[in-house]
Amino acid sequence: MPVEPFWRAKRLEEMTADEWESLCDGCAQCCRLKLEDVDSGEIGVTDVVCELLDRRSCRCTHYPERHALVPDCIEIDAASVPRLRWLPETCAYRLVAEGRDLPSWHHLVCGDRDAVHRAGRSVRGQVQSERHVHPGDLETRIVRWIGVPPNRS
């Protein structure tokens, strides 16, 4: 009898640290800078990413020490996933929390870590590092393609 994959058999809070980390599809959308409107609570997600993100690999260059280096780096854990409204529809953490399956391009399904990029679901080629953007310009950098590939005309 085939064994059910861990993401179908377990809830987020039941996963081991290795299982949890392997769920990340490498889209790096969580590394995009976000702005919250203090009046409405609406969250605007920009096309600007954390200075620690390698925009080619879509991986953090200092992952183990990211919270010390970037104090406002958001910790994504089983308890926070339902509250993080800006997580893309395709985020594996969100999908598992909602009882849905992973997409066909997810590396745990297809075995290819670059499939997320070919599917247009990552930030690769779509973002600028915060190193090169004036903080006062962030409001003008809000984009609406979260969870949906940008128009690549």
Give the Cα separation of 40 and 29 in Å (integer).
Answer: 23
Model confidence at 153: pLDDT above 90: no
Cβ atoms of 107 and 26 closer than 8 Å: yes
Q: HSE-up of 102 (CA within 13 Å, CB side)?
A: 21
pLDDT value at position 39? 93
Strand partners, 44: 35
* pLDDT digit string, tens, across residues 88-133: 889 999 999 999 999 999 999 999 999 999 999 999 999 999 999 9
pLDDT value at position 150? 47
CA-to-CA dists, residue 131 to 4, 36, 54, angstroms: 43, 21, 12
pLDDT value at position 151? 42
Q: Which amino acid, residue 149?
A: P
DSSP string, 25-88: -S--GGGEEEEE-TTT--EEEEEEE-TTEETTTTEETTGGGHHHHSTTPPPP-TTTGGG-TTS-
pLDDT band at 145 (very low <50, low <70, confident <90, very high): low
pLDDT value at position 76? 94
The answer to whether the pTM exceeds 0.85 is: yes
